[in-house]
């Protein structure tokens, strides 16, 4: 059974979605993230992907009060990302209620630090973020491309102990055109024991079934849910 992980992306304390990571193509879906999270929980959702988009753009954690509010007012397992660049950022995230933290840019720009965090906190607490455009890793809220190729990037960190990866195909994120299933199959053929979390492009309930049939362990989705293309009632029955 595929693990279902709705996303709440935060800018200025509001629930938003971007298209292809473009901050200028932002749509606000709610002004109270806590209420959105509680609605998810009421329909049987157990895990939440919470992204601090202000933090990703600012290179430090910003919306930790929102994280704390959701953590204290729900029992959702929260994986948090966006702007976690320093030891203090990571400490604040965990102290504010994150069960897991996703590190993407830091794993590219400062590998020794990410590896130290992995050693200190363990692979069950640290998720590797692999945000991909044309099979190259992007950083800093997807505003910058790197020269890191996806597969060697994954190989390196999996060999160092990473067991969970969120892989987002930036071209598809927020576009409602379907997920990058072929890419996820390719990753899982190379690393069959990896807890791979697909992200980006989910447009319908059928997309969730397709990913499940492909053997993808988990999926993050947001816009399709907020746009009514997937209902919470459907998720409850999966």
User: 56-63: long-range contacts at Cβ-Cβ below 8 A with a sequence spacing of 24 or more?
Assistant: 56/81, 56/82, 56/83, 56/105, 56/140, 56/141, 57/23, 57/83, 57/140, 57/141, 57/143, 58/83, 59/83, 59/85, 59/140, 60/85, 60/86, 60/89, 61/89, 61/92, 61/93, 63/10, 63/13
The maximal CA–CA distance of the chain, rounded, in angstroms, is: 44
C-alpha 213 chain-centroid distance = 21
Q: What is the pLDDT of residue 39?
A: 96
Q: What is the mean pLDDT of the chain?
A: 92
Which string of DSSP letters, residue by residue, matches 23-54?
A: EEEEEEEES-HHHHHHHHHHTT--EEEEEEHH
Q: What is the pLDDT of residue 187?
A: 97
Q: What is the mean pLDDT of each run of 10 residues along the chain (238 residues)?
A: 96 84 79 96 96 90 96 98 94 98 91 96 97 81 69 97 94 78 96 96 95 97 94 90
Number of Cβ within a 10 Å radius of residue 170: 23
Please say whether the beta carbons of 36 and 66 come within 8 A. Answer: no
Q: What is the pLDDT of residue 46?
A: 97
Domains of the chain, each with CATH number or no CATH = 3-237 (3.20.20.70)
Cα–Cα distance measured from residue 137 to residue 147, given in angstroms and rounded to the nearest whole number: 7
C-alpha 164 chain-centroid distance = 11
Helix, strand, coil in percent for the chain, rounding step 5: 40, 30, 30
For 168-225, write each residue's pLDDT tens digit: 988 776 667 899 999 999 999 999 999 999 998 999 999 999 999 999 999 999 999 9
Q: What is the pLDDT of residue 146?
A: 65
Alpha helix (H) ranges present in 74-213?
87-95, 105-109, 111-121, 150-159, 181-190, 205-213
Give me the active site residues, please.
Answer: 9, 131
Q: What is the pLDDT of residue 157?
A: 97
Q: What is the pLDDT of residue 135?
A: 82
Residue 86: burial class (beta carbons within 10 Å; 0-12, 13-18, 19+): middle
Q: Write the CB contacts of 115 (distance below 8 Å, at least 6 apart in sequence).
A: 160
Structure tokens at 32: 């109270």
Q: What is the pLDDT of residue 34?
A: 97
Q: What is the pLDDT of residue 173?
A: 65
């Amino acid at each position: 059974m595929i693990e279902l992980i709705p996303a709440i992306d935060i800018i200025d304390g509001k629930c938003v979605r971007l298209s292809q990571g473009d901050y200028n193509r932002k749509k606000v879906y709610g002004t109270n993230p806590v209420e959105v999270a509680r609605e998810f929980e009421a329909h049987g959702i157990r895990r939440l992907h919470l992204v601090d988009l202000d933090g990703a753009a600012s290179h430090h954690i910003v919306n930790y009060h929102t994280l704390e509010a959701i953590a204290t007012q729900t029992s959702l397992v929260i994986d948090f990302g966006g702007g976690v660049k320093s030891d203090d950022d990571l400490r604040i995230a965990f102290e504010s209620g994150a069960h897991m933290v996703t590190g993407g840019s830091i794993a590219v720009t400062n590998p020794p630090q990410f590896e130290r965090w992995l050693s200190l906190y363990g692979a069950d607490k640290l998720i590797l973020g692999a945000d991909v455009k044309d099979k190259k890793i992007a950083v800093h809220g997807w505003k910058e491309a790197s020269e890191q190729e996806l597969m060697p990037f994954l190989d390196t960190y999996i060999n160092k102990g990473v067991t969970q990866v969120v892989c987002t195909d930036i071209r598809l994120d927020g576009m409602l055109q379907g997920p990058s299933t072929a890419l996820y199959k390719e990753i899982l053929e190379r690393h069959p024991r990896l807890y791979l979390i697909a992200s980006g492009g989910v447009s319908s309930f059928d997309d969730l079934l397709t990913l499940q049939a492909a053997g993808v362990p988990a999926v993050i989705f947001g816009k399709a849910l907020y746009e009514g293309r997937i209902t919470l009632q459907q998720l409850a029955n999966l």
